[in-house]
């Protein structure tokens, strides 16, 4: 069959700089580079390139760059190159298109249309380098009533809480979807930072038990690796109902990846496909969800908060209201930009809603119904900077989940080829020679650096607003203004337009 596809990207080598050290060739798992013995120079096959920049980053003389191909179809505003290419791919394979990481399309990014306030004259700003500034937060049910004993003394009682030094956590990525070294980096960084990471659906590797106080263990529809010790191993338990990148869709880790420790950790035979069904087969209502929430609480002796993670879909506010009544301590909402190791392209790119709108509507709904204190809200799905964190918290979140940003700090270049299992950065792969490229000593340090830098920036922004505690920023939508948003968008976000 004729291959209709021209490479999207081209490898450009500056021959005046190339010293033929062959680092590019050794580092490319896609075998895009090779050495031409006869001509005595390096050559490249751009059709194999996924644009992950591994060769570019390691080239000692900066002789390489990757450029977007200027090869073009005849210009057509309706039948764009992407649409035509996808049709060619499907016509040659007959398959569902697969993609990785988050929705890359040009939908509105509401975070970029929201501006943050600062104090002038009447309400002085605070210098975080000179004055105390609190970023610590607690997630879980807030005590709604004061209980007293027969003598009128207050009985101190708090539902189980998660303590975070900054309102940021690493969101769920399973061992299997990412490598052992990526997990170790996340776990060690979470411990050093005083925050939490999340096991995802792959179970908890024995080696990572030591990070239990900084671990959220996940229970998803496949229930892989779930048993009593696992539930007790972490600081919190998360029930995954949905994922922002693929709402309504389950997961499928092919049997070829279920080897060795992954099979052991997931508690399934080697070589068997790990299929997570689209729904939990025992949950068809809020009442069913409540049963699972309390089963997990019972199994962990009511010592751990239970998180219910849902994807941001059209009626997310009503769903969140139900979740808040199900006994869950924390609701995690994942926006449509959230990442994945593999999802059908059509689902990733067309299903779900932006996290900013979902968060604002959920927070408003729970306040209206008087049940906001029943749960904490955690949001994820493309929190890209400390400014996004501040905006999310001012919109009503208690904390945020980051995953794409965390992987970027580990070296991910968003080439969106995770599904190939040949991640040159040692993140989304199980091939030992690739996994060892991610040294957790370096990886965990880079994660710590990222979150520490964000913490400094969050404190600067809070100080500018004259706020010295993250709690005082929560749901403080007066600190936000919209720009270039219409009435309806402002209404949903619950913020005023700039100038108002």
Partner 1 sequence: MKRVYVNEKWCISCHLCEYNCAFANSGETSMVKALKGVTIRPRIRVEENDRVSFAVACRHCPDPICVKSCITGALSAKDGIISVDSWKCVGCYTCICACPYGAIQPDETRGVVQKCELCTRNSCGEPACVKGCPNGAIVFEEREKKQ
Sites of contact with partner 1 (CB under 8 A): 16-19, 21-23, 26-27, 58, 60-61, 63, 433, 436-437, 439, 441-442
Cβ 17 to partner 1 shortest distance, Å? 5
Report the 10 Å Cβ neighbour count for 248. 13
Minimal CA–CA distance to 56: which of 413, 445, 450?
413
Cβ 444 to partner 1 shortest distance, Å? 12
Rounded to whole angstroms, the Cα distance separating 226 from 217 reads: 9
DSSP symbol at 154: B
Cβ 19 to partner 1 shortest distance, Å? 4
- Token pair of 78 as six digits: 């309706």
Rounded to whole angstroms, the Cα distance separating 433 from 29 reads: 10
- Token pair of 206 as six digits: 């024995």
**Which CB, 293 or 407, lies closer to partner 1?**
407
**Which CB, 26 or 148, lies closer to partner 1?**
26
- Token pair of 247 as six digits: 């709402």
Rounded to whole angstroms, the Cα distance separating 106 from 114 reads: 17
**Which CB, 97 or 408, lies closer to partner 1?**
408
| Residue 268 near residue 207, CB atoms below 8 Å | no
Cβ 441 to partner 1 shortest distance, Å? 6
Cβ 270 to partner 1 shortest distance, Å? 20
- Token pair of 199 as six digits: 């096991």
Minimal CA–CA distance to 397: which of 324, 469, 473, 459?
473
Report the 10 Å Cβ neighbour count for 60. 9
Cβ 25 to partner 1 shortest distance, Å? 10
Cβ burial of 81 (10 Å; 0-12, 13-18, 19+) is middle
- Token pair of 301 as six digits: 């002796």
Q: Spell out a b/e string for 374-388, using b for 16 or more CB atoms within 10 Å of the CB, else e.
A: bbbbbbbbbbeebbb
**Which CB, 185 or 215, lies closer to partner 1?**
185
**Which CB, 200 or 426, lies closer to partner 1?**
426
Cβ 56 to partner 1 shortest distance, Å? 13
Cβ 432 to partner 1 shortest distance, Å? 8
**Which CB, 433 or 487, lies closer to partner 1?**
433
Cβ 27 to partner 1 shortest distance, Å? 6
**Which CB, 28 or 493, lies closer to partner 1?**
28
**Which CB, 17 or 346, lies closer to partner 1?**
17
Please work out, in degrees rounded to the nearest 5, the angle formed at the alpha carbon of residue 381 by the alpha carbons of 453 and 192. Answer: 35
94: left (phi over 0), alpha (psi -120 to 50) or beta: left
Cβ 13 to partner 1 shortest distance, Å? 13
Rounded to whole angstroms, the Cα distance separating 227 from 144 reads: 32
**Which CB, 301 or 441, lies closer to partner 1?**
441
Rounded to whole angstroms, the Cα distance separating 425 from 412 reads: 6
**Which CB, 17 or 147, lies closer to partner 1?**
17
Minimal CA–CA distance to 123: which of 395, 467, 470, 393?
467
| Residue 99 near residue 348, CB atoms below 8 Å | yes
**Which CB, 16 or 78, lies closer to partner 1?**
16
Beta-carbon-side half-sphere exposure of residue 32 (alpha carbons within 13 Å): 27
**Which CB, 42 or 293, lies closer to partner 1?**
42
Cβ 260 to partner 1 shortest distance, Å? 15
DSSP string, 204-266: --GGGGGGGGGEEEEE-TT-TT--HHHHHHSSEEEEE---TTSTT--EEE-GGG--HHHHHHH
Cβ 420 to partner 1 shortest distance, Å? 19
């Amino acid at each position: 069959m004729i291959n209709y596809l021209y490479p999207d990207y081209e490898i450009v080598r500056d021959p005046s700089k190339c010293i033929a050290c062959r680092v590019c060739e050794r580092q490319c798992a896609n075998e895009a580079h090779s050495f031409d013995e006869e001509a005595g120079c390096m050559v490249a096959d751009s059709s194999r390139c996924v644009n992950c920049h591994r060769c570019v980053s390691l080239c000692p003389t900066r002789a390489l760059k990757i450029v977007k191909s200027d090869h073009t179809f005849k210009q057509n505003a309706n039948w764009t190159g992407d649409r035509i290419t996808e049709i060619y791919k499907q016509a040659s394979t007959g398959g569902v298109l697969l993609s990785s990481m988050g929705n890359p399309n040009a939908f509105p990014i509401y975070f970029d249309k929201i501006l943050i306030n600062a104090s002038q004259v009447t309400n002085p700003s605070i210098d975080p380098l000179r004055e105390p500034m609190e970023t610590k937060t607690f997630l879980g049910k807030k005590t709604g009533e004061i209980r007293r004993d027969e003598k009128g003394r207050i009985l101190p009682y708090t539902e189980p809480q998660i303590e975070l030094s900054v309102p940021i956590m690493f969101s769920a990525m399973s061992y299997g979807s990412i490598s052992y070294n990526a997990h170790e980096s996340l776990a060690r960084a979470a411990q050093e930072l005083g925050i939490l990471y999340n096991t995802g659906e792959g179970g908890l590797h024995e080696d990572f038990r030591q990070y239990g106080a900084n671990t959220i263990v996940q229970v998803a529809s496949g229930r892989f690796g779930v048993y009593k010790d696992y539930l007790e191993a972490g600081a919190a338990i998360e029930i995954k109902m949905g994922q922002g990148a693929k709402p309504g869709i389950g997961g499928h880790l092919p049997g070829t990846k279920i080897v060795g420790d992954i099979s052991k950790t997931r508690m399934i035979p080697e070589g068997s496909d790990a299929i997570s069904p689209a729904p939990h087969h025992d949950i068809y209502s809020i009442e069913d969800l409540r049963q699972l929430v309390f089963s997990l609480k019972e199994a962990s002796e009511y010592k751990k908060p239970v998180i219910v993670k849902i994807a941001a879909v059209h009626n997310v506010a009503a769903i969140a209201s139900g979740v808040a009544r199900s006994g869950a301590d924390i609701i995690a909402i994942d926006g449509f930009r959230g990442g994945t190791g593999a999802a059908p392209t059509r689902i990733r790119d067309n299903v779900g809603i932006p996290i900013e709108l979902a968060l604002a509507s959920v927070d408003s709904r729970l306040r209206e119904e008087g049940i906001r204190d029943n749960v904490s809200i955690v949001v994820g799905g493309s929190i890209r900077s400390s400014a996004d964190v501040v905006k999310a918290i001012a919109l009503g979140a208690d904390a945020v989940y980051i995953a794409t940003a965390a992987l970027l700090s580990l070296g991910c270049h968003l080439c969106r080829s995770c599904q190939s299992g040949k991640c040159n950065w040692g993140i989304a792969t199980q091939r030992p020679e690739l996994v060892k490229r991610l040294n957790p000593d370096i990886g965990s340090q880079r994660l710590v650096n990222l979150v520490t830098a964000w913490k400094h920036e969050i404190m600067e922004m809070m100080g500018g607003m004259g706020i010295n505690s993250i709690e005082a920023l929560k749901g403080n939508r007066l600190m936000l203004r919209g720009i270039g948003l219409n009435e309806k968008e402002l209404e949903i976000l619950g913020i005023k337009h700039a100038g108002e």
